[in-house]
Amino acid sequence: MISSKTKEKELQLDEIKTIEELNSIPKFKPWVIDNLTKKRLFLMILSFILTLGPIRFIIVILLHLICLIFMQIMVIGTKPQKPYSNFRKRLIEVVTQFLCRLACFFYGYVHIKFVGEKNYKNWKKNRNERIIISNHSSLLDMEVILSFITGGFVAKESVRHMPFIGNINKCLQGLFIDRTKKNSWVFEEIKKRGEIPGLFPLVIFPEGTTSNNKCLLSFKVGAFSAGMPVQPIIIKYKAWFPLSFLDLTDTYYHPLVVCMSQFCNLYNSIEMTFMDPIVPNSEEKKNPKLYSQSVQKKMNEVSQLPIINSRFRDSLEYREIIKKIQKQKNCKKNK
């Protein structure tokens, strides 16, 4: 386990001059990705053309649009955070899972290896766990999960305004969290939402931000504050161009390059592990922090992803330093 509080003996943050120096700092390791050389960029563009990237991109947009229109029709005559009728709920589940799996296919994620199928069937039959938790590596995580589980996501407030994703999450009865508000408000909202019977399950990424799919970040306690059983999921990607793992805002590459990388691979695979459900003991119910650490440890044991105690604020710091380095480079070029 690597602590984000490790003292940097060799470098002070304000002394960092290059991306290489920045990436050598332990707490920033979760956001380090392969260097995009000119040769690699050329191969990406070539692959984008040869694998019919533009056509696949248009198909994915159309699938999102169809899903959005369908969702908007389904919520006509319903009230926010109120259970849908059984027929409406079942129809949303079938159509959403089909469209999301089809979208993943055109992204290039042709094969999804499913580990823990027995646990998945048991959950689908009983639905005892109202809160689903997963590691978080990409915006694509939502579509991968929706290929198997129809649920509303706990997402940052900015996601509400994202095309397609924000609107679809509203229809799936998800929650949008304002990170400027106190934790107690967040805990209460998650608890209230998780206890309402008949709603879609709540899907939470306890890391609170994306990483490079090579580790588990520190878990926020919000998902565990209600003291309810949770159903953990682990997602692992295997792709030629790992830029596609990241959120568009979590990398120093242009968002267009990151978006294009999704369509540069004709064949990728995903391993999705449906773990045993975790029920907190009496002590963990009283102590959400203890509960979150217990769940994180079990996910670490199953996934073999190392735990790095970096947080959302570290990703913000990483981005700010990258902006500073890029600004310095631009200034030198202009001289």
- Domain definitions of the chain by residue range: 37-334
Q: At what angle do helices 53-74 and 86-107 cross, to 10 degrees?
A: 170
Q: Which residues are within 8 A (CB) of 121 and not within 5 positions of it... i.e. 6 or more apart?
A: none
Looking at 71-217, which runs of residues are DSSP E strands? Answer: 109-115, 131-134, 152-156, 175-177, 202-204
- Residue pair 235/229 in contact by the 8 Å Cβ criterion: no
Exposed e or buried b per residue across 18-45, where buried means at least 16 C-beta atoms within 10 angstroms of its C-beta: ebeebbebebbbbbbbeebeeeeeeebe
pLDDT at 10: 45
Closest CA to 307 of 296, 317, 316, 318: 296
Residue 204 bridge partners (DSSP)? 133
Both tokens of residue 288? 């959400």
Strand 202-204 and strand 131-134: pairing? parallel
Hey, what are 226's tokens?
A: 């209600």
Among residues 191, 244, 235, 263, the alpha carbon closest in space to that of 45 is found at: 263
pLDDT at residue 13, as a whole number: 63
* pLDDT confidence of residue 125: 83
Q: Which residues contact 119 (CB under 8 A, 6 or more apart)?
A: 274, 275, 276, 277
Please tell me the predicted confidence (pLDDT) of residue 8.
Answer: 47
Please give the pLDDT value at position 156. 78
Please report the pLDDT score of residue 75 as a whole number.
Answer: 85
**Nearest one of 247, 242, 251 to 319, comparing CA atoms:** 251
pLDDT-flagged residues of the chain (< 70):
1-14, 34-37, 179-185, 239-259, 333-335
Q: Output the six-digit token pair for 130.
A: 């109202």
pLDDT for the residue numbered 4: 45
- pLDDT of res. 190: 81
pLDDT at 26: 83
